[in-house]
């Protein structure tokens, strides 16, 4: 993606003044922020109508926009293309998932724990643009050597990495700046085998106790269960 074309600013008349308006990329925000600065008092024609802005006023407007950094390639690269570090973007991501209207995450303590213990020490200081299959693989290798993490946890933590990278969006299109084709084989992620996952279930004695101590609809909930074929079985075996 190339840098956006330079802005000169739009000159408008408001409350008796010429004003220049433009948009700025802001760190931690998806949408660009609207900016506005007062220039000089409006000049009126003989009919009392505002005259078009003079060349001098337009020059002033361009200078203000340039000084703001809106056309700075360095600023564009840092904010839009992701020269911020993974650590910095992870903070933006955590704020976003908590405050967004669509399916906000109320408790991010588990994500923060994974970031602080495993992810940030390994890749936190890398530029976000450098986070990819190859740079994430050493993190995966380190987690696999740990006896405290299951295959499912390792895959989940890598998913957090993907989400942080994807959270940097283009302010004009809303699409991720860094489009990654993540490859589990390249990262050598462990397979999650369903048969090895913990599936807690109640023993017959516990079910019998629940039935004995319950009544009415609650008791029916414990007594009735689907038959293996398709119908229902009324009594617990």
Q: What tens digit of pLDDT does each residue of 79-135 get? A: 666 567 899 999 999 999 999 999 999 999 999 999 999 999 999 999 998 999 999
Tokens describing residue 97 = 């998932």
**Residue 29 burial class via C-beta count within 10 angstroms: exposed 0-12, middle 13-18, buried 19 and up:** middle
Q: By three-state DSSP, how is residue 193 classified?
A: coil
Which pLDDT score is estimated for 77? 64
- Please state, in angstroms and rounded to a whole number, the distance separating the CA atoms of residues 103 and 96: 11
pLDDT top residue among 225 and 142? 142
Closest CA to 192 of 148, 140, 150: 150
Pairing outcome for strands 33-41 and 232-233: unpaired
Which pLDDT score is estimated for 25? 72
Tokens describing residue 109 = 């303590």
* Mean per-residue pLDDT over the chain, rounded: 82
pTM: 0.54
Which pLDDT score is estimated for 32? 76
pLDDT at 163 over 80: yes
Closest CA to 21 of 5, 8, 35: 35
Which pLDDT score is estimated for 42? 96
Fold classification of 86-196 is: DNA polymerase; domain 1 (1.10.150)
pLDDT at 205 over 70: no
- Please state, in angstroms and rounded to a whole number, the distance separating the CA atoms of residues 218 and 211: 8
The DSSP code for 85 is B
pLDDT digits (tens, 9 = 90+) for 214-224: 555 555 555 55
Q: What number is the average pLDDT over the span 37-57?
A: 94
Chain-centre distance of CA 212, in angstroms? 49
- Please state, in angstroms and rounded to a whole number, the distance separating the CA atoms of residues 227 and 237: 11
The residue extents of the domains of the chain are: 10-79, 86-196, 204-233
């Amino acid at each position: 993606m190339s840098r956006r074309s330079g802005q000169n600013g739009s000159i408008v008349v408001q409350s008796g003044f010429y004003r220049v308006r433009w948009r700025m990329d802001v760190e931690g925000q998806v949408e660009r922020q609207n900016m506005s600065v007062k220039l000089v008092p409006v000049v009126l024609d003989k009919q009392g109508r505002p005259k078009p802005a003079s060349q001098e006023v337009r020059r002033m407007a361009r200078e203000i926009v340039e000084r703001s950094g809106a056309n700075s390639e360095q600023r564009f690269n840092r904010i839009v293309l992701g020269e911020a570090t993974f650590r910095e973007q992870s903070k933006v991501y955590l704020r976003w998932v908590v405050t967004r209207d669509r399916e906000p995450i109320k408790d991010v303590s588990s994500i923060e724990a994974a970031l602080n213990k495993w992810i940030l020490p390994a890749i936190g200081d890398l530029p976000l643009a450098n986070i990819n299959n190859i740079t994430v693989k050493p993190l995966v290798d380190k987690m696999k050597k740990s006896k405290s993490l299951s295959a499912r946890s390792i895959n989940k933590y890598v998913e957090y990495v993907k989400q942080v990278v994807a959270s940097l969006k283009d302010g004009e299109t809303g699409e991720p700046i860094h489009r990654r084709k993540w490859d589990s084989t390249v990262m050598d992620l462990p397979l999650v085998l369903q048969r090895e996952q913990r599936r807690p279930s109640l023993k017959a004695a516990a079910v019998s106790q629940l039935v004995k101590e319950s009544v009415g609809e609650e008791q029916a909930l414990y007594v009735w269960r689907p038959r293996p074929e398709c119908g229902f079985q009324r009594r617990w075996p």
